[in-house]
Structure 1
Amino acid sequence: MRAVILGAAAGGGLPQWNCRCEGCRAARTGAVPPLTQSSLAIRAEDGPWHLVNVSPDVRYQLEALGAHDRRADGGDAGAPASFHDVVLTDAQLDHTLGLLTLRESPEPLTLHATDTVRRLLTSDFDAGGMLAQWRKVDWHPLRTGEPTRLAGGLVMTPIDLEGPLPRYAGGGTAPGAAVGLVFSEGDATLLYAPCVARLNDALRGHLATADCAMLDGTCWSDGEVAHRTARQMGHVPIDGDDGLLRLLERVRPPRTILVHLNNTNPVILPGSPERARLDELGVEVAVDGMEVRLRP
């Protein structure tokens, strides 16, 4: 199994267009690498790529994936990256706005999504309807706990993370609004959960058995973002008595990587005390282009 983190940042990326925080300044000066918005490409060893979430930065991310493939496997230097289908973990804007960029193709687009996500993307934010004016969209339902065999042999099982509805849909929560995805090939498993509103039993159980977990690392503390807390935005903070770090101190897969990093999060700064705490635990901080390989 091969997984490439196409985008490691939360909504808006790093640096944010209108921000002068320490993280954005560091990205502008080259002290830390800039990050595009959250997305993943994953495949079985010999299968096609599956795109997980479609950020507004998808065009650049697919170009980078094509270059990654050429470095790893050789191939046509002028060929674009190709993917077989798209899986959506939620209907948040930073995970779905790129769907409209994928409009210019004669081929149908296969979209895996929960019933809740499909409803949001064909009503409140009708990206599905707009996209269908250019190319056919084949919706495939994601149902929590039910495995789906993807092209190439990868098996994908969604878990409900009791996540928030997007702000454009009025907020609140709904079943299937945000899911984590457990990918498996043979006995190798990878958990991808970029939006975690609550550390529920489903997440805890799969965290204990995963070979690698890519987890929501949006905010270090609950109050680091002005005007809204991390939990109000639908993200468990890393620190705090009931934060992600406390769980990882008890249950941690062989490899743990934090994704969906907000520009305000001090862990993006290599010399910060917060980053040092993660380093002590062996928890990694994602960057664009990071690859994970798991063998059955």
Structure 2
Amino acid sequence: MKIKVLGSSAGGGFPQWNCNCRNCDGVRRGTLKATRRTQSSIAVSANGEDWLLVNASPDLLAQIAANSELQPARRARDSGIAAVLVIDAQIDHVTGLLMLRERDTPLPLHATDAVWQDLTSGFPIAPILSHYCGVEHRRIALDGAPLSVDALPGVQIDALPLTSKAPPYSPHRNSPERGDNIGLVFTNRQTGKRVFYAPGLGEIEPHVLEAMRAADLLLVDGTLWTADEMIRLGLSKKTAADMGHLQQSGPGGMIEVLDSLDAKSARKVLIHINNTNPILVEDGPERRLLTEHGIEVAYDGMTFEL
């Protein structure tokens, strides 16, 4: 089983187009040791040729161009993307679906009922695509049964409901529904190795902690360093919790959670990193602190095999 990080940034990418915070300004000017990043997405394959795209970023075309595996060129029109799974209906995770409209068959799209409702109403991507390739909805039922994904033979996928936030345009933004946000566990049935993927985590519930403890690789929410990061910088009035994210530092933060896991040999990787987060500075004190705790920071093109 192969996992590729296509995009490791939160919404807006890094640098964000209209942001002049220390990080964004520094990476543009070359005065900070930091690496540009596209918006959050991974791809998973069992054979290195057919890929499940997990989240379709607005940067999808650039990500395809940067990862030759996604364009195997087996015929005149081709793609290594066999299906798509979206964990929520956020703009930075679904807008790229529109870039796949030239398919000559309906796009297999795995989504929960709550997310599918958003994609047919508040952000009607599915009706729009019906005028192009069309979408074949593959329902994620959240009934405890593993998902069946034809593109990933030998890989079991389990979906976990998460406590987070639906998008602002969702009909249930202020009345959360089960399935607004999910985490995923990928298990290689041959090796037994497991990957836990959750770029948006607002709360570490017992079933989430259990899945994290059982994982050999964790790709988890790295959005903000502190709960009030955006407020202190004058860029937003929302805390990390308001946006559905768990900060990394401080009591109850992601560092503390990852330190508490029994599986000390697991790789712990932060993904979905906001442009304001100081961990983007590769020689900064926050990055050094993560290293001391055995925590890595995802980057575009990072690859894992389990």
Same fold (TM over 0.5): yes
- Alignment-derived partner of residue 215 in structure 2: 210
Deviations 1:34-63 (A, max 9, x none): 100000001114561100000100001111
- Alignment-derived partner of residue 176 in structure 1: 179
**2: CA distance, partners of 1:252 / 1:97:** 37
- Alignment-derived partner of residue 285 in structure 1: 297
**1: CA distance, partners of 2:170 / 2:216:** 35
Deviation at 1:252, TM superposition (A): 6.1
**2: CA distance, partners of 1:64 / 1:79:** 18
- Alignment-derived partner of residue 219 in structure 1: 224
Gaps of 5+ in 1: none
Deviations 1:177-233 (A, max 9, x none): 000010111201111101111111121001101010100110010100132111101
**1: CA distance, partners of 2:4 / 2:123:** 28
**2: CA distance, partners of 1:35 / 1:201:** 32
Q: Secondary structure at the match of 1:130?
A: helix
Q: Secondary structure at the match of 1:94?
A: helix
Deviations 1:93-132 (A, max 9, x none): 1001111111112111000000000001001110111111
Equivalent residues of 1:7, 1:39 under 8 A apart: yes
Deviation at 1:163, TM superposition (A): 2.0
**Alignment length, in residue pairs?**
289
**2: CA distance, partners of 1:113 / 1:96:** 11
TM-score (norm 2): 0.89
Gaps of 5+ in 2: 231-235
Q: Secondary structure at the match of 2:63?
A: helix
- More displaced, 25-34 or 264-273? 25-34
- Alignment-derived partner of residue 201 in structure 1: 206
TM-score (norm 1): 0.92
Matches within 5 A, 1:81-120: 81-120=79-118
- Alignment-derived partner of residue 233 in structure 2: none
Amino acid at match of 2:289: R
Deviation at 1:236, TM superposition (A): 0.8
- Alignment-derived partner of residue 152 in structure 1: 152
Q: Secondary structure at the match of 2:243?
A: coil
Amino acid at match of 1:181: L
Q: Secondary structure at the match of 2:105?
A: coil
Q: Secondary structure at the match of 1:287?
A: coil
Identity among equivalent positions (%) equals 37
Structure 2 CA distance for partners of 1:126 and 1:224, relative to 1, 3 Å: same
**2: CA distance, partners of 1:34 / 1:79:** 30
**2: CA distance, partners of 1:54 / 1:46:** 19
Task: Supply the RMSD in Å over aligned alpha carbons.
Answer: 1.9
- Alignment-derived partner of residue 192 in structure 1: 197
**2: CA distance, partners of 1:206 / 1:119:** 27
